[in-house]
Amino acid sequence: MINIVLFGKPGAGKGTQAAFLKEKYNLTHISTGDVFRYNFKNNTALGKEAKVYVDRGDLVPDSITIKMLQDEVEKNTDTAGFLFDGFPRTIAQAEALDAFLATKGWEVTGTVALEADDEILVQRLLERGKTSGRPDDQDENLIRNRYQEYNEKTAPLMGYYQKQDKFYTVNGIGSVTEVTERLSAVLDKLN
């Protein structure tokens, strides 16, 4: 069982790379955004709970996010492993993920951060915003605010996983194929 946490700022290529990695390594891709959308769309009990916070403009508490994630893992226990995308985002979430995986006799195998220069990523997102329809991809100030939030919340997580010798960085700039090859080199060592 290989369990990978994929980090990266918005626009770093996590979604693109996750699609390749899940196929190549036969992983179940769990995207926090997709999990939230599923729970909202299907009006699940957890979706209803989370919606209360979202509608107020508040962050959904870790307890709800973690429970949604656990439900997704439980649906896929026969997998070769998981690719966690967008989770964990805080040390508390990382500790909860570690504790939950331990109940299954599993652990996070490694965490991989797609690294890229902010200026390149801003341009990527502004370009993506022309076709994505996402307002947060069309406003440079919103993009930079997302990066600031990422830096503040993710920096401690990097240290958390570095202490466990489970943190790797990959240059996220280049062609999709080049980045995939760099990611594969890291995952092949972990597998």
Query: Which entry of 24, 75, 104, 134 is annotated as an active-site residue?
Result: 134
Q: Is 182 a catalytic residue?
A: no
Q: Is 14 a catalytic residue?
A: yes
Of 24, 164, 21, nearest to 101 by C-alpha is 164
Distance separating alpha carbons of residues 107 and 46, to the nearest angstrom: 25
Query: Which entry of 51, 67, 146, 153 is annotated as an active-site residue?
Result: 146
Distance separating alpha carbons of residues 181 and 68, to the nearest angstrom: 32
Radius of gyration over every alpha carbon of the chain, rounded to an integer in angstroms: 16
Q: Which two tokens stand for residue 52?
A: 């209360």
Annotated ligand binding at 18? The verdict is: no
Query: Which entry of 89, 124, 166, 182 is annotated as an active-site residue?
Result: 89
- Provide φ and ψ at 112, rounded to 5°: -125, 125
Annotated ligand binding at 58? The verdict is: yes
Query: Which entry of 41, 51, 104, 128 is annotated as an active-site residue?
Result: 128
Annotated ligand binding at 134? The verdict is: yes
Q: Is 124 a catalytic residue?
A: no
Annotated ligand binding at 89? The verdict is: yes
Annotated ligand binding at 86? The verdict is: yes
Output the DSSP codes for 38-95.
Answer: HHHHTT-HHHHHHHHHHHTTPPPPHHHHHHHHHHHHHHTTTSSEEEEES---SHHHHH
Q: Is 89 a catalytic residue?
A: yes
Annotated ligand binding at 60? The verdict is: yes
Annotated ligand binding at 56? The verdict is: no
Query: Which entry of 14, 22, 124, 182 is annotated as an active-site residue?
Result: 14
Annotated ligand binding at 37? The verdict is: yes
Buried b (16+ CB within 10 A) or exposed e, 168-189: bebebeeeeeebbebbbeebee
Annotated ligand binding at 15? The verdict is: yes
Annotated ligand binding at 128? The verdict is: yes
Q: Are 114 and 17 in contact (CB under 8 A)?
A: yes
Annotated ligand binding at 13? The verdict is: yes
Q: Is 24 a catalytic residue?
A: no
- Please state the residue numbers annotated as binding site: 11-16, 32, 37, 58-60, 86-89, 93, 128, 134, 146, 174
- Please state the residue numbers annotated as binding site for AMP: 32, 37, 58-60, 86-89, 93, 134, 146
- Please state the residue numbers annotated as binding site for ATP: 11-16, 128, 174
* Catalytic (active-site) positions: 14, 89, 128, 134, 146
